[in-house]
Amino acid sequence: MQTALNGLKIFKLCFKFDSKSSCCGVQSLAGSGSIRKRFRILSSEYRRQRSSTPVPEKVQAVVIGGGAVGTSITYHLARFGMKDVLLLEKSELTAGSTWHAAGLTALYHPGINMKKLHYDSINLFSQLEAETGQSLSFHRPGSIRLATTEERLLEFKYQMQRQGWQKAPQKIIRPEEIARLFPLLNMDGILGGLYNPYDGHIDPYSLTMAYASGARKYGATITLGTPVEGLKPRKDGTWDVVTPQGTIVAEKVINTSGFWAHEIGRLTNKELPLVPVEHQYMITKPLKEVKELKTEPPVMRHLEGSFYMRTERGGLLIGPYEHQTKMQVLKDWANKGVPKRYFLTCFGKELFQPNLDRLSDHLEVAMNLVPVLRDADVQTVVNGPIMYTPDLVPLLGPYYGLPNMWMAVGFGYGIIHSGGAGKYLASWIINGEPPFDLNEADPNRFGKWTSKEYIREGCRNVRYEQQLHLSERREVCRASDVSCFRGLQGDAGARCRNGIPCRMEQPAWFSKEGDMKGYKPSFHRTNWFDPVGRECRLIMDKVGILDLTPFAKIDVTGPDSSAFLDKMLANKLPKKGKTNISHLLTPSGKVYAELTVTKLNDEHFFLITGSGSEMHDLRWLNDHARSWNSNVNFQNLTDEMACLSIAGPFSRNVLSKLTEDDVGERAFPFLSAKIMKIAGIPVRALRISYTGELGWELYHPSEHTLLLYEALLSAGQEFGIGDFGTYALNTLRIEKGFRMWGAEMNMDSNPLEAGLDYFIRMDKEDFIGKSSLQQILKEGLNRRLAYLKIHSSDVDAEGNESVWCCDKVVGYTTSGAFGYTVNHGVAFAYLPPFLTVPTTKVQVEILGELVDAEVLSSPPVEIEAIRRRKTKQQ
């Protein structure tokens, strides 16, 4: 009781805390009407415990866990036509995090693709009641995110520039409008708000019942009191799902077990990057002033105070996101599992003891914001577990290494995500590819480097909703693994900013004597702007070294390698000793991945793919090899092989000092590869550079990186060699018109609209996605990727900005930067084809301004190979 008493002490001046409601476990629920009702229903059903219903012998899909997420997936699978969908729930529906959730629903999300989940959920919530007859208590009073600092107002402008091309409405409103919408607010210090008029809240219990009722209507079976106790893979790729009522053979298994996800993961010997944390909200007794409000006010989110607030039955519900130093991370639960016995029963419908101490700072801000709170009586404090991932984005999709096992776990906001996540996963399961790009939720994005400490620290640090600068996210959550020579580069002022979801940090830029140290977060050009310019000039005029170790490297060997890759890739296979860029497409012709492919011999190919997409790509390759019965092997070399890139006009001079091999233009032309020794170190050298300048990527055993780096550095002294980081690389590649996977191309775009025609060989016999591309060619493109010159001054495009023409949003940028070579802003943008005609004038929305831009006929800077060819011809 210690914690509750502390809470009482702190609040006795302000809140009259009902001591009856401060107890632990189920008693803490005395009070709140709707919560109490949810608990009463649940506890009576809960007593039923183990089911005696026999389970079927064989089904198409088993969904494990009947919370909001599991029932939504079951509903969607059945609705999309899958037969034999079986949801197994160990106790009762909602008996995890779902039953006590605050039920907030929002169209807003800072991530671009995650917004789509929210949009799909809210659309579904709006129809589900009519479809199932289950009342949902769905309220849509809107929501306002409050700005109490100038920087926060800038963030709202930043969020708006990313919203214009999205479907959901959102706008910035002035303080007067906020006061009108929520008359009980103290408006001191409120500078504005980000308003989403269709946000609100829903009853999570009723929502789950509606999904369940819809699922049953479409033919799914839901069996309660049936715990999954074992999962055994079968040779044919199906699963034995073991329950006390019998074993079921399932073609697909979907883990939706909420904060028991570790237990289910461990049945297959997998550790998932998840940790449960406590989350609390409190509800006051009804307040006269709240009851007198004529309309329900919008849900408030105070970002600096880090809490949400809404009305609940004439009172106020306040839910703080606790400060990282106070947040209760359930380390034991993550390590040993959810306790089997918790008070009188196993944990499920229980709550933790409230801890008002941890909420005090937030509640103080809340009382200042809504002064009537000072006289409020606390009626209920709900403190329950939520499962977090280190980046607060769920694990959603198929799991590498466990064929036909799907994850839908780690939901910090599982109520609002449930509808969209169910639709997304069910379409992927049924159609063989995701309906849209949601790579940030890939269940394999955290590699084996993700330690338990990293997961815990990540969860503490990532207060996604509150964060001002998205880049801060990368700063706080640092990867545990760095290249072995980072100490040396650190001396050179490396600033690492690639945290998650990449296994290794990579330097973003290097500060030198006289530069401001560290990173100064800003929406405007900040302290990296000049160093990045210096590095770009280094590459254009001299020579630089970049650490590309985080790239994933895969060897493909075996008698079927050529035939297999030829069918997988949209480009022709390179000849022996040559390298090319090839794409893995989905059946509908979207870009699943971009690979650098090198043929070492007929039965040996070397694939390089982006940082952090190692498992993503391996999963796709493995799944196809298995289903086509191809005799190929994949060896993941990512850990044992490092890569240093050397680029710039003097890179050949540097290399030739360190090798006896001929690295001249004839002997080692562009897009060729050699196995050679550099400074005595065995290297797979590829004549390729994402900078678009003369350059090589040098793949070598990781243990030699330091030696190689020092050798390059020393040989390059006379040519003015230096380090460069990923920011300079990004600028240089945009200037040259090189697309980036995840920005210009992803599972939302086809290679034709992305301008990748050069890499797509429609004259090849067949490859995945070919027939869809043929259809697209027949029908014509709806949009095209254009290069923009942007007349930006103090802030540059970075991607995802809305592009305007004649007062309308006509498209969006995919990436952007300041082009130091051309001295103006540059960006890629998707636009309707008629607006991609060179010299067309458009505007790019950047921090509330419409900045003039024009469409260029070609990339602003030619690549070195073209410049050289042109010079020769003159």
Ligand X SMILES: Cc1cc2nc3c(=O)[nH]c(=O)nc-3n(C[C@H](O)[C@H](O)[C@H](O)COP(=O)(O)OP(=O)(O)OC[C@H]3O[C@@H](n4cnc5c(N)ncnc54)[C@H](O)[C@@H]3O)c2cc1C
Nearest to ligand X of 28, 586 (CB atom): 28
> Under rule CB under 6 A, which residues in 271-330 are in contact with ligand X?
279, 281
Q: Collect all residues with Cβ–Cβ distance below 8 Å to 139 and sequence separation of at least 6.
A: 200, 201, 202, 296
Q: How far is CA 719 from CA 354, 659, 686, in A?
A: 65, 17, 21
Question: Which span sits near ligand X by CB under 6 A: 102-110, 151-159, 462-470, 558-566?
Answer: 102-110
Among 21, 51, 97, 746, binds ligand X (CB under 6 A): 97
Say whether 823 sits in a helix, a strand or coil.
coil
- Contact between 55 and ligand X per CB under 6 A: no
Other C-beta atoms within 10 Å of 37: how many?
A: 12
Minimal distance in Å, beta carbon 417 to ligand X? 6
> Cα(417)–Cα(609) distance, rounded to whole angstroms?
30
Q: Which helix (H) or strand (E) holds 302?
A: strand 299-302
- Contact between 98 and ligand X per CB under 6 A: yes
Question: Which span sits near ligand X by CB under 6 A: 94-102, 488-496, 529-537, 715-723?
Answer: 94-102
Among 256, 379, 580, 691, binds ligand X (CB under 6 A): 256
Residues forming beta bridges with residue 697, ordered by sequence position? 645, 686
Q: Collect all residues with Cβ–Cβ distance below 8 Å to 212 and sequence separation of at least 6.
A: 66, 71, 74, 75, 87, 93, 222
* Token pair 């949400």: residue: 308
Nearest to ligand X of 49, 635 (CB atom): 49
Minimal distance in Å, beta carbon 202 to ligand X? 9
Minimal distance in Å, beta carbon 338 to ligand X? 8
Buried b (16+ CB within 10 A) or exposed e, 269-293: ebebbbbbbbbbbbbbbbbebbeee
Q: Taking a C-beta distance cutoff of 8 angstroms, is the pair 528, 507 a contact?
A: no
Minimal distance in Å, beta carbon 343 to ligand X? 17
Among 55, 69, 581, 625, binds ligand X (CB under 6 A): 69
Nearest to ligand X of 8, 68 (CB atom): 68
Minimal distance in Å, beta carbon 700 to ligand X? 44
Question: Which span sits near ligand X by CB under 6 A: 18-26, 93-101, 471-479, 537-545?
Answer: 93-101
x-marked contacts with ligand X along 214-233 as a string, rule CB under 6 A:
-------------xx-----
Nearest to ligand X of 408, 851 (CB atom): 408
Minimal distance in Å, beta carbon 345 to ligand X? 12
Q: Taking a C-beta distance cutoff of 8 angstroms, is the pair 377, 285 a contact?
A: yes
- What residue number has its CB nearest to ligand X? 96
- Contact between 254 and ligand X per CB under 6 A: no
Nearest to ligand X of 398, 716 (CB atom): 398
Q: What angle do CA 39, 42, 46 make, to 5 degrees?
A: 135
Minimal distance in Å, beta carbon 862 to ligand X? 50
Nearest to ligand X of 392, 618 (CB atom): 392
Size of the site for ligand X (CB under 6 A): 41
Question: Which span sits near ligand X by CB under 6 A: 191-199, 258-266, 646-654, 753-761?
Answer: 258-266
> Under rule CB under 6 A, which residues in 72-91 are in contact with ligand X?
88-91
- List the structure tokens of 431: 């159609």
Among 39, 182, 260, 699, binds ligand X (CB under 6 A): 260
> Cα(836)–Cα(819) distance, rounded to whole angstroms?
20
- DSSP letter for each residue of 701-726: EGGGHHHHHHHHHHHHGGGT-EE--H
Question: Which span sits near ligand X by CB under 6 A: 98-106, 212-220, 664-672, 749-757?
Answer: 98-106
Minimal distance in Å, beta carbon 89 to ligand X? 5
Say whether 809 sits in a helix, a strand or coil.
strand
Buried b (16+ CB within 10 A) or exposed e, 450-471: beeebbbbbbbbbbbbbbbbbb
Q: At what angle do helices 68-79 and 414-431 cross, to 10 degrees?
A: 30
Alpha-carbon torsion, ordered 557, 562, 564, 569, to 10 deg:
110
Strands 673-678 and 681-686: antiparallel
| Biggest distance spanned by C-alpha atoms of the chain | 90
Alpha helices in 19-144 (DSSP H): 33-46, 68-79, 114-132
Among 101, 253, 438, 591, binds ligand X (CB under 6 A): 101
> Cα(660)–Cα(680) distance, rounded to whole angstroms?
10
> Cα(404)–Cα(429) distance, rounded to whole angstroms?
9
Nearest to ligand X of 227, 420 (CB atom): 227
Among 31, 96, 192, 443, binds ligand X (CB under 6 A): 96
Nearest to 447 by CA among 501, 393, 395, 488: 501
Long-range contacts of residues 674-679, Cβ cutoff 8 Å, at least 24 apart: 674/577, 675/600, 678/708, 678/711, 679/707, 679/708, 679/711, 679/712, 679/715
Among 31, 65, 390, 501, binds ligand X (CB under 6 A): 65
> Under rule CB under 6 A, which residues in 515-544 are in contact with ligand X?
none
* Token pair 């329900």: residue: 296
Nearest to ligand X of 363, 698 (CB atom): 363
- Contact between 830 and ligand X per CB under 6 A: no
Minimal distance in Å, beta carbon 64 to ligand X? 5
- Contact between 66 and ligand X per CB under 6 A: yes
- Contact between 386 and ligand X per CB under 6 A: yes
Minimal distance in Å, beta carbon 224 to ligand X? 9
> Cα(588)–Cα(567) distance, rounded to whole angstroms?
15
Minimal distance in Å, beta carbon 365 to ligand X? 19
- Contact between 68 and ligand X per CB under 6 A: yes
> Under rule CB under 6 A, which residues in 337-366 are in contact with ligand X?
348
- Contact between 698 and ligand X per CB under 6 A: no
> Cα(527)–Cα(495) distance, rounded to whole angstroms?
11
- Contact between 196 and ligand X per CB under 6 A: no
Question: Which span sits near ligand X by CB under 6 A: 174-182, 359-367, 382-390, 763-771?
Answer: 382-390
> Under rule CB under 6 A, which residues in 391-430 are in contact with ligand X?
411-416
- Contact between 100 and ligand X per CB under 6 A: yes
Q: What angle do CA 740, 597, 395 make, to 5 degrees?
A: 55
Q: How far is CA 230 from CA 59, 90, 112, 233, 269, in A?
A: 16, 13, 37, 10, 11
x-marked contacts with ligand X along 103-122 as a string, rule CB under 6 A:
xx------------------
- Contact between 64 and ligand X per CB under 6 A: yes
Among 166, 257, 389, 444, binds ligand X (CB under 6 A): 257
Nearest to ligand X of 353, 580 (CB atom): 353
- Contact between 388 and ligand X per CB under 6 A: no
Catalog residues that contact ligand X under the rule CB under 6 A: 64-70, 88-91, 95-98, 100-104, 227-228, 256-260, 264, 279, 281, 348, 382, 384-386, 411-416
